[in-house]
């Protein structure tokens, strides 16, 4: 006689539980963990001329000995050569500045959309999303036309008499800031809008009723309640910007040293896949740390206060 828990419905339930829990893990395993392991494996290999252009992690020698070769020099080089550290720091700095700028510009925009009359909200959101319908690359290219010495911006400023000589903005870090903020602003606005549009307007009325002037009510009620949106938007901007390649490459100058560009050089220019992989691993580590910190902060905010 079968045990009671082995009857078909119970078995089906258990199976569906295994599938329910297992599927996300399988997904993560195949599309995240496995590629990560491959990158990790490449990062401890040595570059060589051939196909693939790196040494294998293990090899069966004729004597039946399994030889595993782990090369940590790539990580050593990343640590020792100051150019990589400088690039990491500069990338983090650019990402930080851009995130703050996006927040500064995006918050009022998201707030304005969230508090606009309902029939205006969808059109306004569309205006935020609309640029996505044009290729990202084309939009960044367009900034070259705007920012270059003979470009639209300089012509405009010269015509208005604001400046006498054209500004050299293109191929500077400023151009990178402009390009990044422009490209990533929607990623800040959308989560903030989602958050702010859920904010109960009577909370602000209550604050006003209790003697709070609008600015103070914003600081004490709106801002803390939109913290989740701020965190989400900041992550969506900060993380991809650290590894951004196209914008610094097109708009940045020689001094814009960012990890994305170094990765490109190592991978394509130097065919040094292992070093490129090591850089990618370190970059991942640098991004996971602030992410975990942010999450912990968020959890603490929820628990306490």
Partner 1 sequence: MGIAHVRKLANLLLSLSLWAVAPLALAEEQVHLYNWNDYFAEDTLETFEAGTGIRPVLDLYDANEILEAKLLAGSSGYDLIFPTARPFAARHIRAGLYLPLDKSQLPGLDRLDPEIMASLAEIDPDNAHLVPYMWGTSGLGINRAKVREILGDQVPLDTWALVFDPQIAARLAGCGIALLDDPTEVFSAALAYLGKDPNSLERADLDAAAELIKGVYPHIRYFHSSQYISDLANGDLCIAHGYSGDVLQAQERADEAGKGVEVIYRIPREGAAMWTDVMAIPSDAPNPEAAHAFIAHLLQPEVIAAVSDYVYYANPNLAATPLVETALREDPGIYPPAEVKARLFVPNQRSDREIRDLNRRWTRLKANR
Partner 2 sequence: MPIALDRRNLDTWQDPKATPYVRIERVSKRFGEHHAVEDLSLDIFKGEFFSLLGSSGCGKSTLLRMLAGLEYPTAGRIYIDGVDVTDVPPYSRPVNMMFQSYALFPHMTVAQNIEFGLKQERLGRGERAERVDEMLELLRIAELRRRKPEQLSGGQRQRVALARSLAKHPKLLLLDEPLGALDKRLRENTQFELVNLQERLGITFITVTHDQEEAMTMSTRIAVMDAGQIMQVDTPTAIYEYPSCRFVAEFIGSINQFEGKVVESDGDQLLIETRLGRPMRVRNFHPLALGTPVTLAVRPEKMRLCLDYREDGVNQLRGVVEDIAYLGDVSIYRLRVEGQRVEMTLTNTQPRTEQVLTWDQEVAIEWSPTSAVVLTE
- Please identify which residue in 142, 225, 239, 250 interacts with partner 2, judged by CB under 8 A: 225
Token pair recorded at residue 289: 């740390």
The token pair at 236 is 């969506």
Round the CA-based radius of gyration of the chain to a whole number and report it. Answer: 26
If contact means CB under 5 to 8 A according to the sort of partner, which of partner 2, partner 1, none does residue 305 touch? partner 2
Nearest to 110 by CA among 183, 224, 186: 186
Q: Which residues pair with 59 in a beta bridge?
A: 67
Residue 26 Cβ vs partner 1, minimum distance, rounded to whole Å: 26
Show the binding pattern over residues 118-147: x = contacts partner 1 (CB under 8 A), - = does not.
-----------------xxx----------
CB 88 within 8 A of CB 259: yes
Residue 156 site contact among partner 1, partner 2, none (CB < 5 to 8 Å, cut-off depends on kind): none
CB of 38 to partner 1, least distance (A): 12
Residue 58: strand, helix, or coil: strand
- Does 194 bind partner 2 (CB under 8 A)? Our answer is no
Q: Residue 173 has which token pair?
A: 């870090």
- Identify the three-state secondary structure at position 68: strand
**Are residues 140 and 146 in contact, defined by beta-carbon separation less than 8 angstroms?**
no
CB of 218 to partner 2, least distance (A): 13
Binding site for partner 1 (CB under 8 A): 47, 49-53, 81-83, 86-87, 135-137, 148-150, 168, 171, 246, 249-250, 253-255, 257, 262, 264-265, 267-272
Binding site for partner 2 (CB under 8 A): 200, 202-203, 205-213, 216, 220-221, 224-225, 305
């Amino acid at each position: 006689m079968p045990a009671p828990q082995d009857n078909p419905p119970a078995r089906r339930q258990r199976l569906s539980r295994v599938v329910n829990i297992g599927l996300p893990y399988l997904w993560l395993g195949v599309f995240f963990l496995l590629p990560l392991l491959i990158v990790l494996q490449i990062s401890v290999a040595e570059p060589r001329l051939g196909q693939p252009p790196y040494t294998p992690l293990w090899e069966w020698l004729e004597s039946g000995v399994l030889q595993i070769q782990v090369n940590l020099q790539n990580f050593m080089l990343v640590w020792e050569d100051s150019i990589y550290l400088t690039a990491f720091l500069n990338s983090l700095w650019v990402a930080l500045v851009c995130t703050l700028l996006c927040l500064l510009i995006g918050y009022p925009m998201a707030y304005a959309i969230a508090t606009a009359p309902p029939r205006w909200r969808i059109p306004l959101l569309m205006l935020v999303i609309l640029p996505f319908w044009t290729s990202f690359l084309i939009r960044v290219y367009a900034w070259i036309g705007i920012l270059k010495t003979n470009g639209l911006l300089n012509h405009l400023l010269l015509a208005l008499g604001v400046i006498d000589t054209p500004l050299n903005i293109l191929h500077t870090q400023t151009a990178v800031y402009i390009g990044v903020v422009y490209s990533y602003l929607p990623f800040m606005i959308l989560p903030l809008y989602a958050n702010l549009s859920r904010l109960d307007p009577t909370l602000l009325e209550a604050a006003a009723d209790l003697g709070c002037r609008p600015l103070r009510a914003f600081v004490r009620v709106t801002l803390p309640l939109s913290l989740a949106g701020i965190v989400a938007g900041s992550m969506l901007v900060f993380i991809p910007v650290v590894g951004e390649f196209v914008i610094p490459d097109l708009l940045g100058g020689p001094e814009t040293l960012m990890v994305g560009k170094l990765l490109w050089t190592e991978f394509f220019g130097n065919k040094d896949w292992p070093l490129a992989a090591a850089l990618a691993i370190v970059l991942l580590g640098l991004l996971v740390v602030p992410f975990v910190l942010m999450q912990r902060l968020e959890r603490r905010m929820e628990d306490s206060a």
